[in-house]
Amino acid sequence: MTKQAAKTNLGGRSKSYSPDLVRNIVLEFIEGGATPADIDAAMVKAQLCQHHGVSKQIRPEPLQELVEATIAEISEEERRSLLTSLPDHVSLAVDDAMAAAGRELMLLVARQNAACKNAADAECEVLRADKRNANWRIAQLEADLQERSAQLSAIEQERDEALARVDELIEERDAALKEIEQRERETGAVDRLLTEVRDPANQDVIRALLAEVVATSVQEARPS
């Protein structure tokens, strides 16, 4: 097959593309001055279709993934090549510098960690103090509540005793009132009797009654 046939593939099926072909196209772009960030699937597809006889109907998504993977692989190979080309003393110097920078970074992180820990410890101590104060206040309130409960119980007992004493006093008062009423009735009867005795109109009747009583008493006193 001639070079012209390889590019156009006249009269046959459209060619597909391989990862190596895509890699070669990407390398051509880079050698031509393009950066990896400039290269995309559209650029590669144009080259595939125009110069390698690939169908324009190829799907862009798989091609884009292959282009990105190829660029990443080429970039990694370039990095490894550059690192390998460094003299040993430069690599050692870089390693020492990186180690020193790593130690400084670790020291910085350690200081920040210590400062954060101290701040956290101080905040925790404040919270613990607040908790102790709250517990003490709760205990004080509970003690006050118990004391007031005891005082309330004593007051309730005194109230019950006072109510019982009031009931007793009411009973004593009622009994005294009844006695006073009885005596008032008795006093009224005596007063009425004395009034009748003192009444001149009843003197003759009283004398007759007294004479009868005396005669009866004398008669009963005589021996039979």
- For the segment 60-103, what is each residue's pLDDT rounded down to a tens digit? 999 999 999 999 999 999 999 988 888 888 878 888 888 888 88
Specify if 64 maps to a domain: yes
What is residue 88's predicted lDDT score, i.e. its pLDDT? 84
**Structural domain count of the chain:** 1
Q: Is residue 58 part of a domain?
A: yes
Does residue 212 fall inside a structural domain? no
Q: Is residue 140 part of a domain?
A: no
**Position 107 in a domain:** no
Please give the pLDDT value at position 192. 74
Structure tokens at 168: 């007793």
Domain containing residue 23: 3-85
Model pLDDT for residues 130-182, shown as the tens digit of each residue? 999 999 899 989 998 889 989 988 999 989 998 888 888 898 888 888 888 78
Max CA distance (Å), the chain: 195
Residue 194 lies in a domain: no
**pLDDT tens sequence across 15-48:** 689 999 999 999 999 999 999 899 999 999 999 9
Residue 32 lies in a domain: yes
- Residue 146 included in any domain: no
Torsion angle, alpha carbons of 21, 22, 24, 26, to 10: 170
Overall average pLDDT of the 114-134 stretch = 90
Query: Two tokens at 35?
Result: 């950066």
